């Protein structure tokens, strides 16, 4: 009793299937269109990064080589000339927050009798005040002294106090201030 075995053949491949038949591990070549797209995309990203970096550097270099124009200034009323006696000073705060001390050093009432200097010491930023009896500006933090024009004469400060222009019109004292930021 022997049974006859008939060999079976695999079913024909379905033409609608993509890729290798089941059980096959054949590799397909990479899609050349995808490779070209990714290469172009990475080159474009690198070029964009370089352009942004060099563009930023160019902007900083241009600002260094061609600084901004001088800020617009205007005259602001301080007080009547008679309000500050010779040898006295007035503490004044500008609209931008800068602190100024205005000292009267003469008695004629002209703009040359007054001096307006920053009251912030260039050494460490302490408050400077006018000492009329000594004819000097004094910084109490480290005993810094400045002459009546704001030049350092003693102590650690090495830079002069920044000066602000003044004018007198019809008995009124005005100081020149930056207009930037005043809106």
> How far apart, in Å, are the Cα atoms of 137 and each of 21, 133, 154, 165?
96, 11, 11, 18
Q: Give the pLDDT of residue 168.
A: 92
Backbone torsion region of residue 104, taken as left when φ is above 0, otherwise alpha when ψ lies between -120 and 50, otherwise beta: beta
Low-confidence ranges of the chain (pLDDT < 50): none
Name residues whose C-beta falls within 8 Å of residue 117's C-beta, 6 or more positions apart in sequence: 100, 101, 103, 128, 137, 146, 150, 161, 162, 163, 164
Hey, is 14 helix, strand or coil? coil
**Residue 52: how many CB atoms within 10 A of its CB?**
10
Q: Give the pLDDT of residue 133.
A: 85
Q: Give the pLDDT of residue 109.
A: 80
Are the beta carbons of 138 and 131 closer than 8 angstroms? Answer: yes
| Strand 163-164 with 166-169, pairing | unpaired
Q: Give the pLDDT of residue 18.
A: 56
Q: Give the pLDDT of residue 68.
A: 73
Q: Give the pLDDT of residue 45.
A: 92
pLDDT tens-digit series, residues 120-164: 888 888 888 888 888 888 998 888 899 888 899 988 888 999 999
Q: Give the pLDDT of residue 23.
A: 58
- pTM to 2 decimals? 0.59
Are the beta carbons of 84 and 94 closer than 8 angstroms? Answer: no
Instruction: Fold for 73-178, please state it.
Output: Rieske Iron-sulfur Protein (2.102.10)
């Amino acid at each position: 009793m022997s049974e006859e075995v008939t060999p079976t053949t695999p079913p024909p491949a379905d033409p609608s299937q993509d890729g290798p038949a089941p059980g096959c591990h054949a590799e397909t070549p990479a899609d050349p269109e995808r490779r070209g797209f990714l290469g172009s995309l990475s080159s474009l990203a690198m070029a964009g990064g370089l352009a942004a970096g060099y563009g930023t550097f160019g902007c900083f270099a241009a600002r260094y080589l061609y600084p901004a124009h001088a800020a617009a200034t205007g005259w602001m009323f301080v007080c009547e000339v008679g309000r500050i006696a010779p040898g006295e000073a007035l503490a004044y705060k500008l609209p931008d927050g800068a602190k100024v001390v205005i000292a009267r050093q003469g008695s004629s009432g002209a703009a040359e009798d007054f001096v307006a200097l920053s009251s912030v010491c260039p050494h460490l930023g302490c408050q400077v005040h006018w000492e009329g009896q000594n004819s000097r500006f004094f910084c109490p933090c480290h005993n810094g002294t400045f002459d009546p024009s704001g030049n350092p004469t003693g102590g650690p400060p090495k830079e002069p106090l920044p000066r602000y222009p003044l004018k007198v019109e019809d008995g009124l004292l005005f100081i020149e201030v930056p207009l930037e930021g005043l809106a």
